[in-house]
Amino acid sequence: MAGEVCEAVNCKDEIRLSIKVKGIVQGVGFRPFVYNMAHKYELPGWVCNSSAGVEIEVEGNAHSLKGFVSEITANPPVLARIENIEVQDNLALQGYTRFEIRKSIREDGQFVPVSPDISVCEDCLKELFDPADRRYLYPFINCTNCGPRFTIIKDVPYDRDKTTMSEFTMCLPCKTEYEDPLNRRFHAQPNACPKCGPEISLFDCNGKRVDCQDIVNEAAHLILQGFIVAIKGIGGYHLACDATNTEAVARLRGRKYREDKPFALMVEGIEEIKAFCYLEKEEESLLLDPKRPIVLLKKREDSDLISEEVAPGNRYLGVMLPYSPLHYLILKEVKRPLVMTSGNISDEPIAYHDPEAILRLGRIADYFLLHNREIYQRTDDTVARIFDGAPMMIRRSRGYVPLSITLPLSGGEVLACGGQLKNTFCLTRGNQAFLSHHIGDLDNLETLRSFEEGVEDFKRLFHLRPKVTCYDLHPDYLSTRYALAQEGEKVGVQHHHAHLASCLGENGVTDRVIGVIFDGSGYGEDGHIWGGEFLAGDFGSFERMAHLEYVPMAGGEKAIKEPYRMAFAYLLESFGDDAFGVIHSLDLRWDIERLHIFKQIIERRINSPMTSSMGRLFDAVSAILGIKERINYEGQAAVELEMAASHGEEGEYPFEFLNTLPLTIRVRSVIRGIIGDLMAGTEKGIISARFHNTISTIIIEVCRWIREKTALNTVALSGGVFQNVRLLNLSVDRLKKNGFLVLTHHDVPSNDGGISMGQALVALKKLEE
Ligand SMILES: [Zn+2]
Ligand SMILES: [Zn+2]
């Protein structure tokens, strides 16, 4: 487009250009950047924020204009993301005499993407620790290249009066920086200093202010003494304690009623992490990314620095680097890794208002390190790991939200309400998907409220009025009920079809493929609970090609929390009444009386829905091996089964196909093989490895069978079970060796956090037709 400027007119003629830039161009230093460029090329005119992005007008000779436009396109500010530039060049001169930054223009029906929250930048960090700087040790230092964004924005366009900074009036030095186009803080909306900005305060668990000279120092001291301190951050509260102090971590665990679920760590720097985790270079760059996710890293076996209580039974630790100035200040004082777990009770959303936080966290935290900058939009920390050399999202939230994801389909505005567990929602416009932050499990009023508020916030921020609402087919999901209560058209999407669509969507594939969708549970079209599914499908439709044989879940949902119920169901299928003898001889200490009750309810089909879930099969095997009979967080039995698997084992168990359509995969001989191994005294690690091998062989054989039937050669792997990297690695390798093209998740979680985007794609396809 820049080239056309020069070709359209004689290079010496003066013309006026009107330029419209769309993308993430507000709150990221774009206007000062344009201002500087205009000065560099000596072009008069103006720049301003609009509801659609940034608008620029410049006058000058075509040669300078060309340079100006190409430089804006090629070297925008670090946080900017240009999606589109529109240049109009046949305009009459206005006779501008200087270049200026004008007030924002607001147009109806337009929108501009909001930037996510970004960790404090190098320049600000230098000032933070410079005793001569006026912001020395100031916990709210920021500039146009860093700081909070999404979490403080109430409305667009992004201006200070539409953020939670509106109540702080800038002092003269701050205002001067804010108004100086050449300053790093020009129009940095959260700009502040110790004189005019937010401040921190320390309270005890009764809400009484703690008097002290140096609040950060005092908080750090309390942590070092073994206390639990709630710290108000960017997207909510963390509960912090000394990660090397087993007693403190155990106390936090006890108070949070979170027996085994791993806690995340915050560590001062890369070198400090290397003391207790292995670190590949891709992991290092992900840790250092300004988005600052929690990264899953392999624990060093030779280090006992971190308390075992942080992640019991797990070979990985979730680690992040500090991202707010306050984090840096505290870590510099404590000089050791901290547990930084989100400040919520069990599965309620993260607390984000001060009185609410003290009320809800008062029984967990001993002290509260708070501040008076309001968090408008709560966001949990993002969790990711490296797979195949690239980041793979497990929970996509702070730092990534609300960055849009480009879809291979384009259409109208759609709201997709997601599932029940790890809920996210998704809104679309054109070919852009706005996937929400992690809302959590929609099983109580608090999470439902934050879901509803989140949907309204996204509609406002992106000026969306969706006329189509998508939902999961499960009639009891709160997200489904919410969707059905909305006005306009509704589109129901089968759970595993949504998983498949989500994987296709992030990979930009619209063709029909084989979808291997393994997860815990999703409502099937036949009313049973699906979860070990082989589909052939695209956005428009799918065919169920194969699935795990159905087994009963004794007691329904209870069988998810108590994997030994699934183990018993599988043993009954595999051994009939001899199951009791097997259980007895394996010395599995399950309550025999209850097992008899389970047998009865299974036989009479009372509260025992049928499931083809792969997640439940993993649970069953975990319980049979005595690894986990009851769980206290979702997926725990399967996670610990994966962690137990030994390396280098190549054996596997036989399985059968029942020649039906869809093909039924029967694993009774797998269960019998496992029991045989156990009886022979085979190590659990070997058995776990053989089981993983078997599942990957099932994937290969079924995919080959589907390829023969359909000629499809691309395989998409989706569903929460594929967070199991052992299974994922094994399956991807072997599928590739068998000539398949393999699609996996990276930008969108493979678990239920990704299905809202899949639902939206299915709806967009439907609307297209
Ligand atoms: Zn900065
Ligand atoms: Zn100030």
Closest CA to 312 of 564, 559, 728, 639: 639
* pLDDT of 634 over the 90 cut: no
What is the spatial distance between Cα 612 and Cα 606, in angstroms, rounded to a whole number?
Answer: 18
pLDDT at position 2 is: 41
- Whether residue 402 is preceded by a cis peptide bond, meaning omega within 30 degrees of 0, is yes
Confidence band, pLDDT 50/70/90 cuts, at residue 344: confident
d(CA 483, ligand 2 centre) in Å? 46
Cα 173 to middle of ligand 2, angstroms: 6
Is residue 6 scored above 50 in pLDDT? no
Residue 390: which pLDDT band, with cuts at 50, 70 and 90? Answer: very high
Q: Strand, helix or coil at 764?
A: helix
CA–centroid distance, residue 192 to ligand 2 (Å) = 5
261 SS3 class = coil
- 470 has pLDDT over 80: yes
Contact 605, 553 (CB under 8 A): no
> Of residues 32 and 485, which shows the higher confidence score?
485
Q: E strands within 129-258? A: 200-204, 229-232, 237-242
CA distances from 150 to 126, 333, 437, 638 (A): 24, 29, 11, 35
Mean pLDDT, range 415-433, rounded to an integer: 96
Does the structure show a pLDDT above 90 at 633? no
CA distances from 523 to 254, 310, 397, 561, 609 (A): 35, 35, 26, 18, 11
What is the reported pLDDT for 110?
62
- 457 pLDDT above the threshold of 80: yes
Mean pLDDT of 548-560: 96
pLDDT at 113: 73
Residue 219 in tokens: 């908080």
Distance 124 CA to ligand 1 centre (A): 4
Q: Helices in 627-683 by DSSP H: which ranges?
A: 636-644, 668-679
Judge contact between 552 and 608, C-beta under 8 A: yes
pLDDT score of 684 more than 70: yes
Give the ligand with the smallest distance to the CA of 138: 2
Which ligand is in closest contact with the Cα of 118? 1
pLDDT at 112: 67
Amino acid at the residue 555: G
Q: What is the pLDDT of residues 293-340, one digit of tens each?
A: 999 999 999 999 999 999 998 999 999 999 999 999 999 999 999 999
pLDDT given for residue 309 in this prediction: 95
Looking at all shown ligands, the one closest to residue 173's CA atom is 2
Ligand nearest 169 Cα, by number? 2
Greater confidence (231 vs 91) lies with 231
For residue range 223-278, what is the model confidence (pLDDT) as tens digits?
999 999 999 999 999 999 999 999 999 999 999 877 789 999 999 999 999 999 99
Residue 497 to residues 491, 532, 541, 717: CA-CA distances in angstroms?
13, 12, 8, 12
Q: Has residue 5 got a pLDDT over 80?
A: no
467 and 432 in contact (C-beta within 8 Å)?
A: no
User: What's the confidence (pLDDT) of residue 187?
Assistant: 85
How wide is the angle at C-alpha 654 spanned by C-alphas 648 and 660, nearest 5°? Answer: 135
Give the Å distance between the CA of 674 and the centre of ligand 2: 68
Residue 714 backbone phi and psi in degrees, to 5? -105, 135
More confident residue, 83 or 732: 732
Segment (H or E) for 249: helix 246-256
Mean pLDDT computed over 186-205 = 95
Band of residue 355 on the pLDDT scale cut at 50, 70, 90: confident
User: How far is residue 724 from each of residues 152, 394, 519, 532, measured CA to CA in Å?
Assistant: 35, 11, 11, 14
Nearest to 563 by CA among 612, 496, 632: 632
Half-sphere exposure of 176 (CA within 13 A, CB side): 3
Mean pLDDT of 139-163: 91
Q: How far apart are CA 50 and CA 156, in angstroms?
A: 9
End-to-end CA distance of the chain: 34
Q: Whose structure tokens read 């308390």?
A: 307
Residue 209, pLDDT score: 94
Distance 58 CA to ligand 1 centre (A): 29
User: What does the pLDDT average to over 470-491?
Assistant: 96
Taking residues 527-553, report their average pLDDT.
Answer: 98
Distance (angstroms) between ligand 1 centre and the Cα of 134 equals 14
Average pLDDT value for residue range 58-65: 93
CA dist 481 and 492 (Å) reads: 11
CB atoms within 10 A of CB 136: 13
| Average pLDDT of the residues in 732-756 | 98
- Tell me, in angstroms, the distance from the centre of ligand 1 to residue 190's CA: 11
Q: Which contiguous run of DSSP H or E holds residue 394?
A: strand 390-395
Q: pTM, whole model, 2 decimals?
A: 0.92
At 273, list the tokens: 């992490």
Tokens representing 748 are 């969108």
What is the pLDDT, as a whole number, of residue 102? 87
Give the number of whichever ligand sits closest to the CA of residue 197.
Answer: 2
**Cβ-proximal residues to 200 (8 Å cutoff; 6+ apart), any chain:** 139, 215, 216, 326, 369, 370, 371
How confident is the model at residue 663, as a pLDDT? 97
* Ligand 2 centroid to residue 134 C-alpha, Å: 9
Residue 177 Rama label (left phi>0; alpha psi -120 to 50; beta): alpha
The mean per-residue pLDDT over the stretch 687-691 comes to 98
At residue 649, the pLDDT reads 96
* 391 bridge partner residues: 386
Mean of pLDDT over the chain: 93
Residue 352 reports pLDDT greater than 80:
no
Phi then psi for residue 442, to 5 deg, are -80, 65
